[in-house]
Amino acid sequence: MKETEVINRVLQGDTEAFRLLVDRYQKPIIGFVNHMINDSHICEDIAQDVFFTAYKSLASFEADRSSFPTWLFTIAKNKSINVLKKKRPLSASQLPEKTDLHNPSDNLSERELFAELDKILETLPAEQKAAFVLAEFEELPYAEIAQIEGTKVGTIKSRISRAKEKIKSALENLDGDLL
């Protein structure tokens, strides 16, 4: 069933139809929020708040202005940024200088690398982090990210490029032969 059909059913009083949208977008929204705030303990609560807000605001959704997932990711981005504003960000100086490796000749394991990446993502400005996560983890096209962020595609390209530069630099500082 198409999203517009589901939305129309919900707006006509079939509140159970909203479950179809939640089922379809729950995983990507939770993944996005988790990458944005890097706190698995509260990401599901935030995602639930995203869907609650979407449900309450569904009548204001305009299908001719954006797609439903774009609208939903915009809500998720805003909720995540609100949480980030309340959290104290990790500064680049708080990143470990060198990761403790079990075998010095081995690179970081994939899990350790992702843990370090999460720490590095915490140091990025919210705009760069959101653009990077939407592009690299959610695999959204730049045009859709620009719509979510309310900016131009060129700005998104610039944010992602800067984020990649900072991530690459931080990873190189952790282990020179990672990249």
Start-end of CATH 1.10.10.10 domains in the chain = 90-179
Tokens at residue 8, please?
């129309």
pLDDT of residue 108: 47
Q: How far apart are CA 170 and CA 167, in angstroms?
A: 5
**Mean pLDDT in residue range 149-158:** 94
- Do 140 and 134 touch, CB atoms closer than 8 A? yes
CATH number of the structural domain 1-87: 1.10.1740.10
Tokens at residue 55, please?
């449900």
CATH architecture of residue range(s) 90-179: Orthogonal Bundle (1.10)
Span 30-87, pLDDT tens digits: 999 998 888 888 999 999 999 999 999 999 998 888 899 999 999 999 999 888 887 6
130: pLDDT strictly greater than 60: yes
